[in-house]
Chain A
Amino acid sequence: MATLLEVSGVSVTFDGFRAINNLSIAIGEPELRAVIGPNGAGKTTFMDIVTGKTRPDSGKVLWGERGIDLLKLSESQIAKAGIGRKFQKPTVFEEQSVRDNLAMALKNKRGPFSVLMWTAGAQDVARIEELAEEVGLSDRLDYRAGALSHGQKQWLEIGMLLAQDPRLLLVDEPAAGMTPAEREHTTDLLKRAAQSRAVMVIEHDMEFIRRLDCRVTVLHEGAVLAEGSLDHVTKNQQVIDVYLGR
């Protein structure tokens, strides 16, 4: 398991408030990792930094075997380098069909001219159907994404993430607002995805994390508080203090 993403000594400040404080974290490939932490621990800001939305004040974010500096790339370049992100709120393009949503995410050339000339080949159509199958939306391919249920939107977004074929998936609270059955399906999806790539899941729900059965990183006040198996971290006194808000 080689290191895929290495974040070291990153800090970021908003108007005097330290959202991320000398954070160092690394993930290998393939690996499934859960990130937990109380509100304001800096989980989402961490993702913003990795995906290029927020520029840190200091620190380094290195990517891949060649150690590419992600801080020098734009959001779209980072995405093209192989990092996919699912947002906390499901963000699919509601005005467009599920098929179009997936087609947009497919790993094809992204330049305006190639996209202009693009027509769905047999291979693309097959891939879209395969993805739809995987996220359970086969019979919804030609429906407007806005017409899907909340859970289906979450899956569509995961499907789009998979369509991008990223090496690292950043998944922000995938189980929020899901029924127990849907949660189970989501767990399976993530575990399957993690067999061939790195997946980092941010979640509040301990039960969900237990089911993921993976290494857990606990963030607090913008830094890593503890890291290890779920059982290991839940026994950590500091973690207990933070969560119980002593």
Chain B
Amino acid sequence: MSMDIPRQSLAPTKPPRRGFLRDNPSVLWFMGLLGLFTLGVTVLSEGMGIGMVSTNLVKILGMTLCLCLIAIAMDVVWGYCGILSLGHFAFFGLGGYAIGMWLMYARTEIVIRDSLGRGTIPPTPAEISEGVAAQIFGVVGSSELPLIWTFAGSLPFQLSMVVLVPGLLALVFGWLAFRSRVTGVYLSILTQAMTLALALYLFQNDTGLRGNNGLSGLQNIPGALDVPQSVLSVWFFWASALALGLGYMLFAWVVSGKFGSVIRAIRDNEARVRFLGYNVEGYKLFVFTITAIISGIAGALYYPQAGIINPAEIAPIASIYLAVWVAIGGRGRLYGAVIGAASVSLLSSWLTGGGAPNIDLGLYRIVWTDWWLVLLGLGFVAVTLFFPKGIGGLFDYLVRKS
């Protein structure tokens, strides 16, 4: 063919597949860095190392890893598949609630068993469960164990709920939404409505999850009550790092092959994909559900480190922040989501936690807790306008240059 093609656009995109890791060197890079980071934090931690990193900071870092995990899930569903979901933080919260129920129940049960066991007569199972119920639900003026807590004492059951509840909700909601071909901003608003409905539901006292009190004391792990928080925090940090690593591998694998090809095609032109014979709704549903499940797992690791979960965590705004992280980090690349989530959330906790020095301008004193959100909002507008590829786009630029 004699067509003249502009020279710079001739760069080949990707050689044929040779193997997952060799095709995706960034996965190896990421794994290496994550491993080093984990090792470094462990060595510097109070609980297991030389104590340069406080227990509180270890917790913050571990929580940040969980946020990175949900951010890559968001990236897959939005950056790769084009569904701007404003509901993934709801799945995150549901995962947290599922594990929180076990943490709270099992710990309260130990306390109750202990106090009843001091009497002459040993307690019966009914007495224990009534005691637990009174202890947990006294705050919302109830002393009966709601139906959904029936198996709260069973760790395997609640662990399966971490996966099943977000997964099933995503499956049902996604099926309804995709089936009727709701797309674009409509879909975003619909997911936001779902999140709002869930948050409002959880805010009610009589739905069995303690209303706006939420679940608390989650940092105490039944079975490890005598392990100091400094050590526990490192354990959870490891678990979060492991989950992030596995999640990253999983998603990198999912988006690298033909499946990734199809979902990116759906993002760019879903009607065309339909005429190729692909059931677009099925793919969207698959992506929506799997990312919801990973979000739930991320939440289940996050809240034991945070110690408390309440419905405000699920409010629609949280899911929008998630989208902001991914957009700032750079959509359509997994490491971009990690960079965005880590940098923005850490910066946020540094600036709002009073870590940053306030700036005195003579006439006006810039207090970061007051101005951080203004900065974030405007910065975000700037990123959208001028750097649509986010921070990750910088990497592309550097790689192309070298």
Binding site for B on A (CB under 8 A): 51, 53, 74-77, 79-80, 84-85, 87, 91, 93-97, 99-100, 103-105, 110-112, 115-116, 118-120, 125, 136, 142-144, 146-149, 151-152, 160, 164, 181
With A80-B277, A112-B283, A125-B16: A118-B257 Cβ-Cβ less than 8 Å: yes
Chain A facing B: main interface SS:
mixed
A103 and B4 alpha carbons, distance in the complex (Å): 26
Looking at the assembled complex, report how far the CB atom of B23 sits from the nearest CB atom of chain A, in whole angstroms. Answer: 11
Chain A CB within 8 A of B10 CB: yes
Task: Check B9 against A147 for contact (C-beta < 8 Å).
Answer: yes
A58 and B273 alpha carbons, distance in the complex (Å): 27
With A76-B277, A103-B258, A142-B14: A149-B5 Cβ-Cβ less than 8 Å: yes
With A99-B16, A103-B258, A143-B10: A93-B269 Cβ-Cβ less than 8 Å: yes
Chain A CB within 8 A of B225 CB: no
Looking at the assembled complex, report how far the CB atom of B151 sits from the nearest CB atom of chain A, in whole angstroms. Answer: 30
Q: Which residues of A contact B279 (CB under 8 A)?
A: 74, 76-77, 110-112
Binding site for A on B (CB under 8 A): 1-6, 9-17, 254, 257-259, 261-262, 264-265, 268-269, 271-280, 282-283, 286
With A79-B277, A95-B264, A160-B276: A115-B258 Cβ-Cβ less than 8 Å: yes
Task: Check A112 against B14 for contact (C-beta < 8 Å).
Answer: no
Task: Check B259 against A112 for contact (C-beta < 8 Å).
Answer: yes
8 CB contacts below 8 A, A to B, read A79-B274, A84-B275, A94-B268, A97-B12, A99-B16, A115-B259, A118-B257, A119-B257
Q: Which residues of A contact B268 (CB under 8 A)?
A: 93-95
Beyond A79-B276, A104-B276, A110-B279, 20 additional contacts (C-beta under 8 Å) are: A74-B279, A76-B275, A76-B277, A79-B275, A93-B264, A93-B272, A100-B14, A100-B258, A112-B283, A115-B262, A116-B254, A116-B257, A118-B258, A119-B17, A120-B17, A142-B12, A143-B10, A147-B9, A151-B3, A160-B276
Looking at the assembled complex, report how far the CB atom of A50 sits from the nearest CB atom of chain B, in whole angstroms. Answer: 11
Task: Check B261 against A110 for contact (C-beta < 8 Å).
Answer: no
Looking at the assembled complex, report how far the CB atom of A205 sits from the nearest CB atom of chain B, in whole angstroms. Answer: 20
A103 and B12 alpha carbons, distance in the complex (Å): 17
| Among B16, B273, B282, contact of A111 (Cβ-Cβ < 8 Å) | B282
Task: Check A75 against B274 for contact (C-beta < 8 Å).
Answer: yes
